[in-house]
Amino acid sequence: MGVSGYAGMELARLLLHHPALRNKPPLFFGRPDSHPEPLVNMHPQLLDGRGNRCLRVDPFEWQKLEEAGVEVLFLALPHEQSRTLAPEALERGIRVIDLSGAWRLEDAGHRAVYAFEDEGSETARAIQEQAVYGMPELHRDKIRSAKLVANPGCYATSAILPLKPLVAAGWVDLDRGIVCDSKSGVSGAGKAPTAKTHFMYAANNLSAYGLFGHRHTGELLEQLQLSREQIVFTPHLLPIPRGILSTIYVHFTEPKHAAEVEICYRSFFAESPMVRVFAAGQLPQIQYSVNTSYCDIGFQPDPGGRRCIIVACLDNLLKGAASQAVQNLNLMCGWNEAEGLE
């Protein structure tokens, strides 16, 4: 549900070409008060020779899901709608992969940025306890059996993945703090136009926003087990359609050689097919990861080995949204984690 958006379109494309779904295309739904519409009218780029011309986006009805025997429901919707739909889906025995921020955060203080109307209710607490943060590289085993997977934010993915191996190893001097400087293409703001995503504002421009208050900050704090004083995260709007580049600055507690850092990364991500670790000094660029399902990580320690700059790149609509959701589907269904993504 929510196929009309940018992430929803990419999710549809991936599912339509997924090997395990070749003879069983997904169902696509719009608002309950919408009218049936051919999928390729909404997204002409999805037209191919696989019979997609016959697929429709239908008004959402629970009865249609039950009649079709739907087992997994993707929600590519605003978080307010996911707060309503996810509990009912679970009650009906349907597993949920939610691409919004509705269920990502365990701490009520971190959730406050969303101002959920049902915050503190018995239902919301019960659902939140079931939610698993959907980053396969960190929570693979829990995702396999999860009823509700909360897909991570795009910025959060680009910061958590490059930082987690170093923080988990105890190498990062947290007293000296971490600086994460992230830049995203305009599609990260969603499909609904705003003054700041208007061409006349975004083109030939670079702007910072959400200082000390971006919604993804809570994800960094929870998944890296940091306090607000230990990391500064600043997002920026890039004048490109898609892609994220995060430049991260850390101090080590003890000097580390580049070879040690590379071994740390490669060991941590040895079983993670959608993370590509670059050799020391070879830094990722957005053009390498855009339109792919990978998160690319590169790094360079300073000559003394006490400081390190890390660069991570990903496609905000894919590894930052749709392809990470498909990774989670693969784990939940017992398929190869990279199925349909490489």
pLDDT in the model for residue 259: 97
Delimit the domains of the chain by residue range.
Answer: 6-151+321-333, 154-314
What pLDDT sits at residue 24? 87
pLDDT at 279: 95
- What's the burial of 203, exposed, middle or buried (CB within 10 Å: 0-12/13-18/19+)? exposed
| pLDDT tens-digit map of 232-261 | 999 999 999 999 999 999 999 999 999 999
Q: For residue 291, give both structure tokens.
A: 């339109």
Q: Within a 10 A sphere around the Cβ of 115, how many other Cβ atoms?
A: 8
Question: Which of 83, 69, 3, 84 has the alpha carbon at shortest distance from 36?
Answer: 3
**What angle, rounded to 10 degrees, do the helices at 258-268 and 154-168 form?**
120
Give dist(CA 333, CA 323) in Å, integer. 15
- The pLDDT of residue 85 is 96
What is the reported pLDDT for 198?
Answer: 86
Q: Identify the segments of the chain with pLDDT beneath 50.
A: none
Class at the top of the CATH hierarchy for domain 6-151+321-333: alpha beta
d(CA 308, CA 242): 27
Q: CATH topology for 154-314? A: Dihydrodipicolinate Reductase; domain 2 (3.30.360)
Q: Where does residue 98 rank: exposed (0-12), middle (13-18), buried (19+ CB within 10 A)?
A: buried
- Active-site residue (options: 154, 180, 264, 313): 154
The pTM of the full predicted model, rounded to 2 decimals, is 0.95
Our answer to whether residue 333 is catalytic in this structure is no
